[in-house]
Amino acid sequence: MIPIFEWLMSVIIITFIIYMIQIRLNLRRIEKLVAKLPGPPCIPFFGNLFFFINNTHEDFIYKVSEMLRKYGSEEPVRFWMGNRLIIAIFHPKDVEAVLCNQKIIDKSSLFHYFQARSAGAFSLSGEQWRKHRRLANKMFHKNLMAWYVTVFNEQGNELEKFLAKKSPAETFDISHPIMRCTLDTICRTATGVHMNLQGNGKLTFPDDLTISSEIIIERMYKPWLHYDTLFKLTSLGKEMFKCIKRIHKFTETVLSQRQQQLQNQNLKSQLNGSKKDDHEYNNKVDKLYIDNMFELAEVENLSAHEIVLSALDIIIGGADTSAISDSYALVFLGIYKDWQNIIHKELDEVFGGSDRDVSLQDIDQLVNLEMVIKELLRLYTAPHTVRLLHEDIKIDNYTFPAHAVVYISTYLAHRNPKYWSHPDSFHPEHFLPENVAARPKYSYLPFSYGPRSCPGSKYGMISMKIVLSRILRKFRIECDLKVEEMKYKPSLMLELVGGYPIRLIPRTKFYYN
């Protein structure tokens, strides 16, 4: 037995040594390729980990920004998280080279932490991503926008009714009712189901979504939370999975209602001897997103849970970012009264004081409102994203080696003083036509670009314009927050700590009078 044991140990040791030599040789090759790249000095094995120790997620964003400003005024910057090479970029030419490369579509493995909650085009890679992306593209086809506008108006009208009950003296967090509105909207447009969530005070989905997002992102930059078994034993892990369980339960309810609708339609068609679908969406859409998802699930033999994970990707994407952007817009218009007056005048000129629905033609006339929305997306959209390289790529005089992670700092790209006259301030004039024309396209990235750009960007912009225009036609906004005292927390976007407190004052004066 002893010789066999010794033989096994020898094999294990030799295999380990060969493995370590291969790692070292690969690292030496990588180090040689990135030797030209500027970056901070690092410690063997640990790299630059100590630079980020005891940081919050917000601190991490600022630390990387500080590093990029110091070492990469015009160049990419390299740093190491242990043996993992990170190449950080924010200059338009570098961002364009990465985002528009058809071979660079996979996100870092860290994004798989999102897949316990949702698994669709946002977090998947490879062929699975392509399948889900094709489904998402169908949902956001331009021919569907006219029907979506009808839904946006209906839900916006429900939101108006709820907000009209608020006392002008009451300060409240506007994100709560808006999130219920956008969640109702995406359930309707993606699944055809009327959830009637705006009057549901017991709905936990918005809070569960925020808490789970914060925990997932915190997990990304804390290596000791990367191991699933250990993470599930922590208080953060237990809290996250409780939130996810409720999120999944909500989504199961939505999908079961749609399945019941389809069964009722099939039964009615059989009774009438016709295959015609007389559902209310007939002649307006070919198929709803979730119906296409059901078909894919049948072909791919997906489980009910996998369908839930896929559907959630669209539900979260359609509800969360629009709600937070709307909330920011109302807070900032409550602070910057001059811009609120500009928006009120624009709305009065377009709608003449009426409370009629917003049309697609109206959308194009809300130029100043769009400038405000775009400026807040500049300041508070997702602060970064990442791409994983599967092969070497050449950018200018540098070679980015395979297996490196490219960190794209949206936060810094959107605050580069070379392209933004007021980089850290609320300044909607950044989006005057002459200013937009003077900037490189890839200096502004709220919806990204290239193969993994957001397919719902137009859907989101129209939704935000309709919701905000309906609220602002009826109310003046007051907000007591001071911009210089605002603090932010990580979620899918940079969100305000403490919520989005405003007061609504019914309007009595209109500019057209």
Encode pLDDT of 361-380 as tens digits: 999 999 999 999 999 999 99
The pTM assigned to this predicted structure is 0.89
Determine contact, residues 311/135, Cβ cutoff 8 Å. Answer: no
| 129-360+466-513 CATH | 1.10.630.10
Rounded Cα–Cα distance for residues 476 and 337 (Å): 9
Rounded Cα–Cα distance for residues 405 and 318 (Å): 28
pLDDT in tens, 226-274: 888 999 999 999 999 999 999 999 999 999 999 999 888 877 666 665 5
pLDDT value for 276: 47
Query: DSSP characters for 105-160?
Result: -PPPGGGGGGGGT--STTT--HHHHHHHHHHHHHHT-GGGHHHHHHHHHHHHHHHH
Is residue 175 helix, strand or coil? Answer: helix
- In sequence order, what are the residues at sequence separation of 6 or more whose Cβ sits closer than 8 angstroms to the Cβ of residue 322? 182, 460, 463, 464, 467
Rounded Cα–Cα distance for residues 336 and 329 (Å): 10
Closest CA relative to residue 148, chosen from 191, 193, 177, 188: 188
- Digit-by-digit pLDDT tens for the chain (513 residues) are 556 656 666 667 766 666 555 555 556 667 777 778 898 988 877 788 888 777 777 787 888 888 888 887 778 999 988 778 899 999 999 999 999 999 898 988 878 899 999 988 888 888 888 888 888 888 998 888 899 999 999 999 999 999 999 999 999 999 999 999 999 999 999 999 999 898 777 889 999 999 999 899 888 878 788 888 999 999 999 999 999 999 999 999 999 999 999 888 877 666 665 544 444 544 445 689 999 999 989 998 989 999 999 999 999 999 999 999 999 999 999 999 999 999 999 999 999 989 999 999 999 999 999 999 999 999 999 998 999 999 999 988 888 998 899 999 999 999 999 999 999 999 999 999 999 999 999 999 999 999 999 999 999 999 999 999 999 999 999 999 999 999 988 788 999 999 999 999 999 877 755
Which element (helix H / strand E) includes 400? strand 398-400
- Backbone torsions φ then ψ of 19, nearest 5 degrees: -60, -45
Which element (helix H / strand E) includes 406? strand 405-408
Tokens of 218: 């915190």
Rounded Cα–Cα distance for residues 471 and 461 (Å): 16
For residues 122-161, one letter each, b for 16 or more C-beta atoms within 10 angstroms of the residue's C-beta and e for the rest, the string is bbbbeeebebbbebbebbbeeebeeebbebbbebbebbbe
**Which ranges constitute the DSSP H helices of 273-392?**
289-300, 304-335, 337-351, 360-365, 367-380
Determine contact, residues 452/136, Cβ cutoff 8 Å. Answer: no
- In sequence order, what are the residues at sequence separation of 6 or more whose Cβ sits closer than 8 angstroms to the Cβ of residue 323? 175, 178, 179, 181, 182, 183, 206
Determine contact, residues 98/408, Cβ cutoff 8 Å. Answer: yes
Rounded Cα–Cα distance for residues 430 and 436 (Å): 7
Rounded Cα–Cα distance for residues 349 and 63 (Å): 46
Determine contact, residues 258/314, Cβ cutoff 8 Å. Answer: no
Closest CA relative to residue 191, chosen from 256, 277, 122: 256
Helix axes 304-335, 367-380, angle to 10 degrees: 110
Q: What angle do CA 142, 161, 155 make, to 5 degrees?
A: 20
